[in-house]
C-alpha cells in the first residue's frame, strides 16, 4: 500500500511539473526564429509577399512568452494557447520610426488579432480573427535573440 501511495504521488508530481513547463504550443513552434513571409487578406482579397522577412520575426519560448522583431523595433509579450487557438498579448516595445516603407505597424496590428495557428510543411500559419486572413512564417533557424 505504501508503494502504491508513493507511486501515485510521484505520478502526480510528474504531471504537475509537465503542466507547469508546457506552454501548450506545439514543441516544433518553440525556440524558432519565424520569419514573416506572406500575408493573405480576405477583405479586400489580396496576397502579399513580405520583402525582407528577416526584419519581421517571431520566437516563442516554452514559458509562455515571445519576442519579436518588427523591422527596427523589438517587442516582447505573452501568448495563450488552447488547442490550436492562440492569442498574443503584446507587451513592451521600442518605438523607433522605421521609415515610410516599413511594415512594422501592419505587422503588429495583425499579430494583435491572431486567433489560431497551424504548423505544416515547415511553416507556421497564424490565422486572423473575423476571417481577416492569415500570416505565413518560414523557419528562419534557431531563435537567438531577436
Element (H, E) at 80: strand 73-82
What is the model's pLDDT at position 50?
97
Beta bridge partners of 130: none
What is the model's pLDDT at position 144?
82
What is the model's pLDDT at position 4?
33
DSSP annotation of 63 reads T
CA proximity to 63, closest of 30, 108, 15:
30
The answer to whether the CB of 33 falls within 8 A of the CB of 39 is no
How many beta carbons lie within 10 A of that of residue 98, not counting itself? Answer: 14
What is the model's pLDDT at position 20?
40
Pairwise CA distance, residues 21 & 28, whole Å:
15
Pairwise CA distance, residues 101 & 115, whole Å:
27
Tell me the percentage of the chain whose pLDDT exceeds 90.
Answer: 77
pTM of the model: 0.82
Handedness of CA 37, 92, 145, 121 (dihedral sign): negative
Tell me the domains of the chain and their CATH numbers: 25-142 (2.40.128.270)
What is the model's pLDDT at position 44?
84
94: CB partners within 8 A, 6+ apart? 72, 73, 74, 75
pLDDT digits (tens, 9 = 90+) for 9-38: 333 333 333 334 456 899 999 999 999 999
Mean of the per-residue pLDDT values of the chain: 86
The answer to whether the CB of 24 falls within 8 A of the CB of 81 is yes
Mean pLDDT of 57-75: 98
Amino acid at each position: 500500500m505504501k508503494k502504491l501511495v508513493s507511486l501515485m504521488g510521484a505520478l502526480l508530481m510528474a504531471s504537475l511539473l509537465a503542466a507547469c513547463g508546457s506552454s501548450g504550443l506545439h514543441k516544433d513552434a518553440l525556440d524558432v526564429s519565424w520569419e514573416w513571409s506572406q500575408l493573405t487578406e480576405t477583405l479586400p482579397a489580396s496576397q502579399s509577399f513580405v520583402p525582407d522577412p528577416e526584419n519581421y520575426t517571431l520566437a516563442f519560448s516554452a514559458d509562455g512568452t515571445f519576442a519579436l522583431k518588427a523591422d527596427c523595433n523589438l517587442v516582447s509579450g505573452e501568448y495563450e494557447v488552447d488547442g490550436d487557438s492562440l492569442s498574443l498579448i503584446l507587451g513592451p516595445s521600442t518605438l523607433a520610426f522605421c521609415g515610410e516603407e516599413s511594415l512594422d505597424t501592419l505587422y503588429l496590428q495583425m499579430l494583435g488579432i491572431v486567433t489560431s495557428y497551424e504548423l505544416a510543411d515547415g511553416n507556421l500559419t497564424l490565422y486572423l480573427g473575423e476571417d481577416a486572413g492569415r500570416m505565413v512564417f518560414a523557419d528562419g533557424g534557431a531563435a537567438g535573440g531577436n
